[in-house]
């Protein structure tokens, strides 16, 4: 069966694309054959994975395709039967042809957003792109993922209202701001390798949700 393709995208830098992509690929990759595609010329996903030790390598294969531009989807299609899941980390630019290209073959687009008004306003561009690509790729589903949530109420009323104005829903799972997420990059692992139950739990719950969404696919 062809791999299910998850694209992590938002034009805003620093909202958690690479953190989300690497932890998803790390957790999913522990049980399934997974490929992580690095589409960002900065190569942070590639560097993240290569920081892993020989004893505990990153549990997904990694491929850098930042230079593939609008041909990225063709390149990825060559590997679609070799993996169960392909997770794609996108560059922080909506006009980048890489993002539009990979959305053409994606099953699910995940848009990490920091739940504050300015961050949410800047997600409008990516919403437009995803909505446009959906006309061609009828299998494409999309979800916002609230990242770097803080406090007892993960998302303020104002931010919830803004979130509800988007064309796509947010995931039920919110990802909290935790120092451990910064540490995961340094030693090339995912939440699975961290001694933090809350972080493990929230990613386990997010992965469950993602797998459920992918199971409702028309394909
Ligand atoms: N939930 C979180 N808690 C704490 N730090 C986070 C969280 N998500 C991301 N970060 C940190 O924020 C910075 C930007 O995240 P990153 O994933 O690189 O964003 P992007 O790929 O969208 O530019 C990184 O230093 C990362 O470790
Ligand atoms: Mg990044």
- Full pLDDT tens readout for the chain, 219 residues: 899 999 999 999 999 999 999 999 999 999 999 999 999 999 999 999 999 999 999 999 999 999 999 999 999 999 999 999 999 999 998 777 999 999 999 999 999 999 998 899 889 999 999 999 999 999 999 999 999 999 888 888 999 999 999 999 999 999 999 999 999 998 899 999 999 999 999 999 999 999 999 997 555
User: Is ligand 1 within 6 A of the CB of residue 39?
Assistant: no
Looking at the domain that runs over 4-215, which CATH code has it been given?
Answer: 3.40.50.300
Q: How many angstroms from the chain centroid is the CA of residue 111? A: 7
- Looking at residue 96, its pLDDT comes to 79
Q: How many angstroms from the chain centroid is the CA of residue 29? A: 14
Phi then psi for residue 213, to 5 deg, are -60, -45
Q: What are the structure tokens assigned to 150, written together?
A: 């803080």
The region that residue 148 occupies, defined by phi over 0 for left and psi between -120 and 50 for alpha, beta otherwise, is left
Mutate to test the pocket of ligand 1, among 12, 13, 14 (most ligand atoms within 8 A of CB): 14
- Looking at residue 60, its pLDDT comes to 98
Q: Give the pLDDT confidence of 141-172 residue by residue, as tens digits.
A: 999 999 999 988 888 899 999 999 999 999 99
- Looking at residue 217, its pLDDT comes to 58
| pTM for this entry | 0.97
From CA 123, how far away is CA 114, in angstroms rounded?
A: 10
Q: What are the structure tokens assigned to 173, written together?
A: 């799972």
Mutate to test the pocket of ligand 1, among 15, 19, 122 (most ligand atoms within 8 A of CB): 19
From CA 163, how far away is CA 116, in angstroms rounded?
A: 10
Strand 34-38 relative to strand 61-64: parallel, antiparallel, unpaired? parallel
Ligand closest to 12 (CA) is: 1
> What is the Å distance from ligand 1's center to 88 Cα?
16
User: Is ligand 1 within 6 A of the CB of residue 92?
Assistant: yes
Distance, first Cα to last Cα, the chain: 10
Return the domain boundaries, the chain.
Answer: 4-215
| 173 closest CA partner among 146, 143, 195 | 146
The overall longest dimension of the chain from CA atoms, in Å, is 46
């Amino acid at each position: 069966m062809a791999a299910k393709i998850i694209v992590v995208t938002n034009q805003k830098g620093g909202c958690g694309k690479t953190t989300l992509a690497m932890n998803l690929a790390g957790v999913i990759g522990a049980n399934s054959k997974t490929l992580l595609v690095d589409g960002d010329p900065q190569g942070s996903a590639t560097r993240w994975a290569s920081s892993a030790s020989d004893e505990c390598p990153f549990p997904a294969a990694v491929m850098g395709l930042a230079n593939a531009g609008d041909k990225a989807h063709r390149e990825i299609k060559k590997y679609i039967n070799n993996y169960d899941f392909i997770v794609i980390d996108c560059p922080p630019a909506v006009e980048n042809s890489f993002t539009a290209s990979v959305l053409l073959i994606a099953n699910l687009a995940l848009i990490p957003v920091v739940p504050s008004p300015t961050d949410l306003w800047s997600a409008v561009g990516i919403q437009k792109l995803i909505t446009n690509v959906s006309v061609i790729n009828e299998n494409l589903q999309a979800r916002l993922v609230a990242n770097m949530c803080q406090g007892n109420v993960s998302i303020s009323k104002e931010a919830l209202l803004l979130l509800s104005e988007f064309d796509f829903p947010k995931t039920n799972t919110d990802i909290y701001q935790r120092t451990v997420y910064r540490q995961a990059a340094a030693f090339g692992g995912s939440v699975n390798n961290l001694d933090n139950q809350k972080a493990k739990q929230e990613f386990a719950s997010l992965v469950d949700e993602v797998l459920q969404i992918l199971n409702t696919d028309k394909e």
